[in-house]
Amino acid sequence: MRRGIADSPLHFGACPPWLFDRMKRLARGIIEGIVEEWGAEEVLKRLSDPFWFQALGCLLGFDWHSSGLTTTLCGALKEGIRGLENDLQLFIAGGKGKTSLKTPEEIERIGDREGIEVAHLIYASRMSAKVDNSALQDGYQIYHHTFVFTRSGKWCVIQQGMNMEKGYARRYHWLSDELCDFVCEPHSSIISQRKEKQVLNMVAKESGEAREISAKIACENPDRTLSELIKIEKLHLPRSHPIVMKKETFKKVLLKTYERKPKGFEELLGIEGVGPATIRALALLSELIAGAKPSYEDPVKFSFAHGGKDGHPYPVNLEIYDKSIEVLEKAVRAAKWGKKDKWEALKKIASLYR
């Protein structure tokens, strides 16, 4: 199963209520079916696969190729399972815009209500967003963050960034089972239609030395670090490494890192105030002072059931859509009652189709 990043054209506008209501119901039936057959952790594995996620969005009938598929599908999943979280042992937090910023608080509320230890989940939510916004600088600003987790403490992240200038959005997938290190190759596979020319990738394997030196520089006296940066600026900064942070602001951040003395890059990245500009400056200093060159490579590699809301590849057929919901809901109910004949029939149809 592949996990990683997917790019989509940046589209605006809301999903029409008549479609979103159906998306919620069909999404609920699909999630219930997966949990019934394979358990809650299987949902995480599938959502972390960008191909499966994209296919699910197409199945539910939203724009097959737009950024709206991510935000609307995540919203439909969250609303679709509302009230069933205990039965499914599955919980969804976060969303788009300001809602994404409240994800840690939402996770904490769920933990308090359900009696789940969530400290590591809150850390995972914050760190995955920090990595894709600051450590991986590909020109896409994170604006959507959905965190899905199970009662057992497993999790996945679906988040999306936008590049207004180029009119594209990029989706990032994370899975706890595949994660060995938050700051070294955290995405096990990355899928994209676009490959950006200038990317600072501090989470690449090749950036290991740069991460180590950056953390060490962050522990140095801020005045010494700033004096080195001034020397570099007098030599003219290369285009690939612009630093737009004011020296006063940079010094304040360096004072924090100097006091905290981070033991490594992950701890450095987790310090409040350490953002893209700080990471760029430290990466530049690491490269020019210690010869620790980071990676500048963009870490990307290169089925419609119900139509799409914008008429592509064809208009949504409400009759077929409603019938699909009816059949799936009946099959899930029957499976819960121990009558799995309808569920087995659906599985046989799928195997014959394959």
For the chain, percent of residues with pLDDT exceeding 90: 49
SS3 sequence, 91-137?
EEEEEECHHHHCHHHHHHHHHHHHCCCCHHHHHHHHHHHHHHHHHEE
Contact call for residues 102 and 127 (beta carbons, < 8 A): no
Q: What are phi and psi of 278, to 5 degrees?
A: -65, -45
Q: How many CB atoms lie within 10 A of CB 264?
A: 13
pLDDT at 349 over 60: no
Higher pLDDT, 13 or 86: 86
3-state class percentages of the chain: helix first, strand second, coil last, to nearest 5:
55, 15, 35
> b vs e for 203-231, b when ≥16 Cβ sit within 10 Å of the residue's Cβ?
bbeebbebbebbbbbbbeebeebbeebee
Q: Which residue in 3, 169, 209 sits closest to 70, CA to CA?
A: 169
Spatial separation of the C-alpha atoms in residues 302 and 345, rounded to whole Å: 36
- pLDDT at position 190 is 62
- pLDDT at position 342 is 57
User: What is the band of 80 on the pLDDT scale with cuts at 50, 70, 90?
Assistant: very high
Over residues 303-322, the pLDDT tens digits come to 344 444 454 444 555 665 56
Higher pLDDT, 37 or 123: 123
Range ranked top by mean pLDDT from 69-78, 86-95, 167-176, 239-248: 86-95
Higher pLDDT, 267 or 231: 267
Over residues 279-298, the pLDDT tens digits come to 998 998 898 888 999 999 98
pLDDT at 265 over 90: yes
Tell me what the mean pLDDT of segment 212-237 comes to.
81
* DSSP 8-state class, residue 301: B
pLDDT at 146 over 60: yes
Distant-in-sequence, close-in-space partners of 91: CB < 8 Å, separation ≥ 6: 85, 110, 114, 148, 149, 150, 151
Q: Which pTM was predicted?
A: 0.79
Q: Both tokens of residue 259?
A: 């006091």
Region of residue 167 (phi > 0: left; psi between -120 and 50: alpha; otherwise: beta):
left
Q: Domain segments of the chain: what residues? A: 5-199, 205-290
Over residues 172-193, the pLDDT tens digits come to 999 999 899 999 999 866 655 6
Q: Which residue in 151, 164, 139 sits closest to 299, CA to CA?
A: 139
Contact call for residues 31 and 25 (beta carbons, < 8 A): no
Tell me what the mean pLDDT of segment 70-80 comes to.
93
